[in-house]
Copies of this chain bind each other. A is one copy, B any other.
Amino acid sequence: MTNDYKQEVQTLLVRSKIGFLATQGEWGVETSMAPFALDHGMILLHLSTLAKHTANIENNPRIGLMVCTPETEGASPLALPRLSLQGEVSLVPEDRYPAAQAVYIQQIPDAEMLFSFADFRLFQFSASRIHWVGGFGKARNVPLDQWQKFTGDEV
């Protein structure tokens, strides 16, 4: 089971370039979308300070993050493999910034120009809880040490 499931989690992370954020907003919980990059277990998010989710994160850095296999014609919308993570967001520290920026641009090349915009910041999401749904009747928690192993490899 572990090997298959590792491969399924990695496949999901390769197929999806975007994450869905749940943040605490002024009028309750909010959802938003942001591209993400994977940096050895950390999830990098490059967000504009003009966006509402960024203000929400500054008020409350504990967020939810979902990565879901993209919908395709013919695939059942009920059974798309997905990961639901909970954790905390912080600014990428200055000494890690150049390396993290390079990793982010490698995975999301379209974002390169945004790094010259004054309103963008590079954040890192560190997961504390991870739940994986692989399809019908296939779900489990992902222990954090396994997550590190799964995402430490090249995916």
Binding site for B on A (CB under 8 A): 15-18, 20-25, 27-33, 35, 62-66, 68, 70-72, 76-78, 80, 82, 84, 86, 108, 110-111, 114, 128-129, 133
Closest to A16 in B: B71
Main SS at interface, chain A: strand
Query: How far, in Å, is A115 (CB) from chain B's closest CB?
Result: 12
Closest to A24 in B: B29
Given the known interface contacts A33-B80, A78-B110, A111-B78, the answer about A63 and B20 at a Cβ–Cβ threshold of 8 Å is: no
A13 and B110 alpha carbons, distance in the complex (Å): 25
Contact A66 B29 (CB under 8 A): no
Contact B77 A29 (CB under 8 A): no
Contact A86 B22 (CB under 8 A): no
Select A18's contact among B30, B68, B111, beta carbons within 8 Å.
Answer: B68
A68 and B32 alpha carbons, distance in the complex (Å): 9
Contact B77 A32 (CB under 8 A): no
